Structure 1
Amino acid sequence: MILKKLKRATALVGVLVLTTGIFAGCSGGTTNKPSDANKGGKDDEIVIGFSMDTLKEERWQKDRDTLMARAKELGVKILIQAANGDDNKQIAQAENLISQGVDVLMVAPHNAEVAATIVEAAHEEGIPVLSYDRLIKNSDVDVYVSFDNEKVGELQAEYVTKLVPKGNYVYIGGAPTDNNAHLFRKGAMNVLKPLIEKGDIKLVYDQMSKDWQPSEAQKHMENALTANKNKIDAVICANDGTAGGAISALSEQQLAGKVPVTGQDAELAACQRIVEGMQTMTVYKPIPKLAETALDVAIKLAKKEKVETNGTVNNGKIDVPSVLLEPIVVDKNNMMDTIIKDGYHPYEEVYKNIPEDQRPKQK
């Protein structure tokens, strides 16, 4: 879909619009675009638009909630719309945000390539674009705020190869349309490739999962088990959702908890699986840190202030100025010192399936 000049308001059908402290369902109608004299909102209030891929996953709900709370603290307005995996809807929602005269547009793209049209449209209106957690490919996006996603894959592979230095490995990746999924895999292969070439590890299955769907990951794991007569020694899954799908398939063969499985995102269900011994590890990317950093950067863009970055990431067109945060390995041994200590998930929820006399003591 090619974006047209965005001097009009876009009609939205069934779109969830989230603003700071407000949840409003829109059904058609025309949005009111601020006049040029008051583009930033009341009393020149900074207005930030955020076009999200999805709110179906727990982690993205955390992003939304943190951003809304942080925006309220800082006295800025944030308009959030989620497309739930629909490229056309995400573009229409971005059009809507642009037409409202936002000062900055943040985008967590569903499709890294398609979202380049959003950047172009925003720039036509003089609106800078921040690529949030997922890199927008082949565009002149202004800044990228995320974690070192290649490092995430390296951490997963390093962890599991220490447990299982030899054997049959399965890699279950994320969405092919998500650039992060390719970075996770690249990082994992940085570690696995020398061991594969040495002959210690055999990569017997290697597939991506459409839209990060756990059901896709489960099918991949079932296929891998069937093709290798259940002789699988380790599974690297790109995130916790795909890990959950893989573990479901392993459970059917009474192998859950016996075959190491990695994940990422520190979702509550994954943390529960880890303390129960079903999942081996996850990579914790503190979402509050990401959201707060991104919002601070967005405000600087709105004010046309200098943004301090700590690297660049090539998106196929330019080296994008980037703020990259450090991911953290979490397993059963440091759950208390990371997830629980940070208040990311409640102690009672993480350990709810563990008998009280077997739970670690809270400090």
Structure 2
Amino acid sequence: MGLGAGPPAVKRRSFTRASVAVAVAVGLVLAGACGGGGGDGDGDGDGDGSLSVGVLLPGGGASRFGQFDGPLIEKQLKRLCPDCPAPTIAATSDPAVQRQQLESMITRRVDVLVLAAVDPQLLRPSVEAAHRAGIPVVAYDRLAQGPISGYVTFDGTTVGRLQGEALLKAMGTKARGGQIVMMNGATTDPNAGWFKRGALSVLQGKVKIGKSYDTVGWRPENAFVNMTRAIAALGAGDIDGVLAANDSLAGAVVAALNAAEVRPLPPITGQDADLAGVRRIVRGDQYMTVYKPFEPAATAAAKMAVALGRGRTVGSIATGTVDSATTKNIPAVLLPSVPVTVGNIKGTLVKDGMYTIDQICTPALRSACAKAGLTR
């Protein structure tokens, strides 16, 4: 399975589990603009000339990358390099298309690339081609293979551990010996293995894992089919919890359980704090999600991109290093994540401005929102 078979080797300078406040603090530290004055990426960003930046994302539109990461990276690049043209942003969930997009940006001679790889192995030759062309690559969210110059992500082991801990808490007395289904991400995404191992570090030896699936392409339709199979194999009444790796998969799990008329729904985890997932949490269909504050990540990626595009190093930006299957000691920023349940939506997602109460609380959810304290 290549890189997707396990998490990257992480060497931290200092990283501990943290709250949203810490994530925001990280963002403030990283928010110092890049550019003139020194060779480590620090400075005010003025007077260093224009840069062309290519940004390649594994999804657009309603996905977290389309809603949050892409716009935030563009915003931060504009702040750090006011005279630079708007970045070229390309989004697709098709690895072959993303490879074409990357190669097109190499041909156009962008100065630096920010890459959230759909398939790190397939993209490796293109990353190597960018390196030969003198174009540094910042891996974003997912660790691409090849000569990467910097990496920004959320600590995947922590994400998986938070999901596993929350699931056990929600299962109550069934957390000892109960049966769960694991709906993992795609093996082509190195983060999926990272999340899975973090969850297993909490779950193994406590619950029975009745079925475990690796979801091809992170596609909800594949998760729906797999969950339908799990219900048929294990029995509708014998599933005490579902470890879903993200909110899209959680939505598919809920749909499959509803189609099988399973009542009550078992606790289900998620990740990314998608609006649909947050609404499911308010409704009671999903137990939790993992909130990953995207602005600190976008800021770090933009800062690395501007520094590298101007020929500087990113050592002072990084919080540690990681090793991929192909490259050692990649400077990395590893950011903390926060578990969100119905009781702390207002104190995390709403407080940080990710969503307003009006966005979350549709007319059908007004009663549930009032019960959850989601009022203005």
Relative to 1, partners in 2 of residues 1:223 and 1:44: Cα closer, same or farther, differing over 3 Å?
Answer: same
Conserved in 1, the CA contact under 8 Å of 2:170 and 2:287?
no
Aligned residue among 193, 198, 201 for 2:207:
201
AA in 2 matched with 1:354: R
Q: Deviations over 1:125-162 (max 9, x none)?
A: 1111100111113x221111011012111110011112
Q: 3-state SS of the aligned residue for 1:44? A: coil
1:68: how far off? 2.0
> What CA deviation, in whole Å up to 9, does each residue of 1:150-206 have, x standing for no partner?
21111100111123212001100112211111111111111122x2xxxx4111100
Residue aligned with 1:333, SS: helix
Query: C-alpha distance in 2, partners of 1:162/1:357?
Result: 24
In structure 1, give the amino acid aligned to 2:208: K
Contact 1:257 1:279 in 2 (8 A): no
Q: Specify every segment of 5 or more residues in structure 1 that has no aligned partner in the other structure, as ranges.
A: 1-41
Does residue 179 of the first structure (1) align with residue 184 of the second (2)? Answer: no
Shift in Å, 1:359: 5.3
Q: Relative to structure 1, is the Cα distance of residues 95 and 212 closer, same or farther in structure 2, using a 3 angstrom cutoff?
A: same
**The one of 180, 196, 202 aligned to 1:191:** 202
1:39: which partner in 2? none
1:315 and 2:320 aligned: no
Q: Determine if the alignment matches structure 1 residue 354 to structure 2 residue 366.
A: yes
Q: Match for residue 73 of structure 1? A: 79
For residues 361 and 245 of structure 1, do their structure 2 counterparts lie closer, same or farther at Cα, with a shift above 3 Å needed?
closer
Cα drift, residue 251 of structure 1:
1.4
Alignment-mate amino acid for residue 300 of structure 1:
A
Task: Kindly indicate whether residue 294 of structure 2 is the aligned counterpart of residue 267 of structure 1.
Answer: no
| Cα drift, residue 83 of structure 1 | 4.8
Tell me how far 1:227 sits from its aligned partner.
Answer: 0.5
Counterpart AA for 2:111: D
SS in 1 for 2:342: coil
Post-superposition offset of 1:69: 2.3
With normalisation by structure 1, the TM-score equals 0.82
CA distance in 1, matches of 2:301, 2:233: 44
Q: 1:341 maps to what in 2? A: 351
Aligned twin of 1:160: 167
CA contact (8 A) 2:180 2:241 kept: yes
220, 223, 226: which is aligned to 2:226?
220
Q: For structure 2, list consecutive stretches of 5 or more residues without a partner in the other structure.
A: 1-46
Q: Distance in 2 between matches of 1:357 and 1:334?
A: 14
Q: Which residue of 2 aligns with 1:34?
A: none
Counterparts of 1:257 and 1:183, CA distance in 2: 30
> Residue type of the partner of 2:166?
Y
Alpha-carbon distance change, 56 to 243 in structure 1, aligned in 2, over 3 angstroms = same
- Asked if the contact 1:275–1:332 (Cα under 8 Å) also holds between the matched residues in 2, the reply is yes
Match of 2:341 among 315, 326, 331: 331
- Greater share of strand: 1
Moved over 6 A (4+): none
Aligned counterparts of 1:78 and 1:295: Cα–Cα separation in 2: 12
Q: Which has the higher helix share?
A: 2
Paired position in structure 1 for 2:55: 50
TM-score (norm 2): 0.80
Aligned in 2, Cα 1:43/1:185: closer, same or farther, shift over 3 Å? closer
Q: Identity of aligned pairs, percent?
A: 34
Cα distance in 1 for partners of 2:374, 2:283 equals 16
Correspondence 1:303 to 2:310 = yes
- CA drift of 1:270 comes to 0.3
Residue 48 of structure 1 deviates from its aligned partner by 1.1
Contact persistence 2:343–2:372 (CA under 8 A): no
Question: Partners in 2 of 1:144 and 1:152 — Cα distance?
Answer: 17
Question: How large is the Cα RMSD of the aligned pairs?
Answer: 1.9
Q: CA deviation at 1:255?
A: 3.1
Shift of 1:317: 2.1
Aligned mates of 2:255, 2:294 — CA distance in 1? 26
Distance 1:361 1:107 in 2: 37
